Amino acid sequence: MTTAIYAGSFDPITKGHVSIIRSGLVAFDRIIVAVVINPNKKSLFTVEERMHMIKASVDADARVEVDGFEGLLADYARKQNVRVVLRGLRGVADFEYELQMANMNRNLNAEMETVFIMANDYFYVSSSLVKEAATLGGDVSNVVPEIVARKLRERLGR
């Protein structure tokens, strides 16, 4: 059975993330969606809220596990006994950073490989842009799962 870890902030999960998970399931039997716990990074949603929204967005698919981790992804992967890290590539802007990360991670854990899946319909969507648009009163329901649209309205008092 092949497993990949899909790590990120997911603050909040978008349809772009969901499409990477769906594509990832074509290549892997199981995906662990791992929310990075970083107390120094300001977030709109708590780790628990983010994990809950991820679970709801993948319809509790048995092949998708949702977890949180603190510290290095390289250490987390080792602990989980997983050797593949899945990332989405939205465009050239992502490339430089991802190239650095993949190689740094390879240095930190020589057993680990990073696999990229090209973004598709939602290539222009990012969690930060979603938050910005929603904060300014924009309707983001086309680019985020239903539960996220609802939670954003609740959180932003609309």
What token pair was written down for 127? 């969690």
- For residue 25, what are the β-bridge partners? none
16 binds ligand ADP (CB under 6 A): yes
Beta strand 30-36 pairing with 84-89: unpaired
50 binds ligand ADP (CB under 6 A): no
Give the active site residues: 17, 41, 90, 127
CB atoms closer than 10 angstroms to residue 57: 25
Q: Using CB atoms, what's the residue nearest to ligand ADP?
A: 16
Residue that is written with structure tokens 């490339």 in the block: 95
Q: Which stretch binds ligand ADP (CB under 6 A): 12-20, 70-78, 133-141, 144-152?
A: 12-20
| Cβ-based nearer residue to ligand ADP, 98 or 157 | 98
Pick from 4, 119, 130, 134 the residue near ligand ADP by CB under 6 A: 119
131 binds ligand ADP (CB under 6 A): no
Name the phi and psi angles at 44, rounded to 5: -80, -40
What token pair was written down for 140? 């983001």
- Whether 67 contacts 35, CB under 8 Å: yes
Q: Where along the sequence are the contacts to ligand ADP (CB under 6 A)? A: 8-10, 14, 16-17, 20, 87-88, 90, 94, 119, 122-123, 125-127
